[in-house]
Amino acid sequence: MDQQQARAWLATAVAEARAGLAEGGIPIGAALYGPDGTLLGRGHNLRVQNDDPSMHAETAAFQAAGRQRTYRGTTMVTTLSPCWYCSGLVRQFGIPRVVIGEAATFHGGHDWLAEHGVEIVLLDAPECVEMMRAFVKDNPALWNEDIGE
């Protein structure tokens, strides 16, 4: 896909991550875009804010998009490589493309998604790496809790 488009969409996910950080939460954000570029849903990790371990950024964006008859042509945009939980979401619902801010601080299931035909656009965005690196350094226990380690 067009890199400029990918970066513009990533900005939505980054804004979500920053909103989560401002709330005292884990700074991971995501957005689900439709085939025509319509924003279907956006969200961020809510483990701390809602005491809800099920709301990762991607699942929050997926929930916010509401019921969709099909995910054909959609793109999941996330600030961080999706964990197995969120990678499973992408695979199950046939989301054909994932734009990822960075996979340097955490390497989730995106190689597995690529093996199963999902287009992966890995941006190596410095703003994502910096935000996540600082958070993990300051909150190692919280981060480990969020990824089940």
Could you tell me which of 8, 9, 7, 42 has the C-alpha nearest to residue 28?
A: 42
| 90/121 with CB nearer a copy of itself | 90
CB neighbours of residue 52 within 10 Å = 13
Q: Which amino acid is at 41?
A: G
Residue 76, strand partner residues: 32, 98
The yes or no reply on residue 63 touching a copy of itself (CB under 8 A) is: yes
Read out DSSP for 9-23?
HHHHHHHHHHHHHHT
Determine the size of the site formed for a copy of itself (CB under 8 A): 33
| 59/75 with CB nearer a copy of itself | 59
Question: Are residues 62 and 33 in contact, defined by beta-carbon separation less than 8 angstroms?
Answer: no
Could you tell me which of 128, 52, 125, 134 has the C-alpha nearest to residue 85?
A: 52
Segment interacting with a copy of itself (CB under 8 A) among 12-20, 21-29, 46-54, 122-130 = 46-54
Q: Which amino acid is at 135?
A: F
**Position among 11, 91, 104, 139 found at the interface with a copy of itself (CB under 8 A):** 91
The yes or no reply on residue 67 touching a copy of itself (CB under 8 A) is: yes
Is 58 catalytic? The answer is yes
Segment interacting with a copy of itself (CB under 8 A) among 19-27, 49-57, 96-104, 132-140 = 49-57
Binding positions for a copy of itself, rule: CB under 8 A: 47, 51-55, 59-60, 62-63, 65-71, 83-89, 91-94, 109, 145, 147-149
